[in-house]
């Protein structure tokens, strides 16, 4: 991870998901609410929280999306390796995440058709649930 943005995004995403970040956000909101009477519930008082939360939300969307994109890529690489390493697996499934939505739906429907009828699938799912 040599990209400074990736390092920053990873660190912020990790910190944002921890309890201290939630407590900090909660304290900011409580402090803001408690100062309402001091500022006579003014428009400026409301604008401060609205602007602050909008800015934080806007920036966090990009940071969290960056972290999720990297996680998804890592998981996809691991799945591709499992397919490649498994004897008898269909290697043509490697890289299908790059297909169009219509192509993916066609593959999904074809796979579902090959697994048998609905009654068979329901029985398999019921057995799986009972094992828990």
Q: Are both 33 and 87 inside the same structural domain?
A: yes
Number of domains in the chain: 2
Q: Are both 44 and 106 inside the same structural domain?
A: no
Q: Whole-angstrom Cα distance, residue 72 to residue 3? A: 18
Q: Are both 46 and 31 inside the same structural domain?
A: yes
Which of helix, strand or coil describes residue 117?
A: coil
Q: Are both 39 and 11 inside the same structural domain?
A: yes
pLDDT digits (tens, 9 = 90+) for 110-131: 887 777 666 666 777 777 778 7
Measured over the CA atoms of residue 72, residue 73, residue 74 and residue 78, the dihedral's sign is positive
**pLDDT the model gives residue 28:** 97
**pLDDT the model gives residue 61:** 93
**pLDDT the model gives residue 9:** 87
**pLDDT the model gives residue 116:** 65
Q: Whole-angstrom Cα distance, residue 132 to residue 129? A: 6
Q: Are both 43 and 88 inside the same structural domain?
A: yes
pLDDT digits (tens, 9 = 90+) for 10-46: 889 889 989 999 999 999 999 999 999 999 999 999 9
* Domain membership of residue 90 as a residue range: 4-97
Q: Are both 93 and 105 inside the same structural domain?
A: no
Nearest alpha-carbon partner for 15 in 7, 70, 31, 27: 7
Per the CB < 8 A criterion, the answer to whether 95 and 104 are in contact is no
Q: Are both 8 and 33 inside the same structural domain?
A: yes
Q: Are both 72 and 21 inside the same structural domain?
A: yes
Q: Are both 40 and 58 inside the same structural domain?
A: yes
Q: Are both 55 and 119 inside the same structural domain?
A: no
pLDDT digits (tens, 9 = 90+) for 41-95: 999 999 999 999 999 999 999 998 998 999 999 999 999 999 999 988 888 889 9
100 has a pLDDT exceeding 90: yes
């Amino acid at each position: 991870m040599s990209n400074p943005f990736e390092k920053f995004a990873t660190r912020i995403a990790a910190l944002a998901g921890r309890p201290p970040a939630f407590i900090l956000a909660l304290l900011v909101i409580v402090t803001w609410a408690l100062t309402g009477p001091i500022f006579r519930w003014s428009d400026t008082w409301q604008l401060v929280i609205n602007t602050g939360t909008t800015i934080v939300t806007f920036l966090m969307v990009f940071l969290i999306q960056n972290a999720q994109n990297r996680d998804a890529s890592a998981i996809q690489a691991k799945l591709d390796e499992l397919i490649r390493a498994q004897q008898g697996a269909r290697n043509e499934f490697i890289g299908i995440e790059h297909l169009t939505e219509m192509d993916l739906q066609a593959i999904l429907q074809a796979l579902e058709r090959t697994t048998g009828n609905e009654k068979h699938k329901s029985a398999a799912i019921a057995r799986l649930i009972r094992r828990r």
